[in-house]
Amino acid sequence: MLGRVNHIAIAVPDLAAAAAIYRDTLGARVSQAQALPEHGVTVVFVELENTKVELLEPLGADSPIASFLAKNPSGGMHHICYEVEDILKARDQLRQDGARVLGDGQPKIGAHGKPVLFLHPKDFQGTLIELEQV
- Predicted confidence band at 16 (pLDDT cuts at 50, 70, 90)? very high
Mean local confidence (pLDDT), 78-100: 98
Report whether 111 contacts 30 (CB < 8 A): no
**E strands of 48-133, at which residues?**
52-58, 76-84, 108-109, 115-119, 128-133
pLDDT of residue 100: 98
Domain boundaries, the chain: 5-133
pTM score of the predicted model: 0.94
- Predicted confidence band at 97 (pLDDT cuts at 50, 70, 90)? very high
pLDDT at 61 over 90: no
Q: Is 130 a catalytic residue?
A: yes
pLDDT of residue 85: 98
Give the chain's mean pLDDT: 96
Among residues 38, 47, 54, 130, which one is catalytic?
A: 130
Instruction: Compute CA distances 57 → 43, 67, 108, whole Å.
Output: 6, 11, 19
Query: What is 5-133's CATH superfamily?
Result: 2,3-Dihydroxybiphenyl 1,2-Dioxygenase, domain 1 (3.10.180.10)
State the DSSP H helix or E strand holding residue 97, giving kind and residue range, or none if neither. none
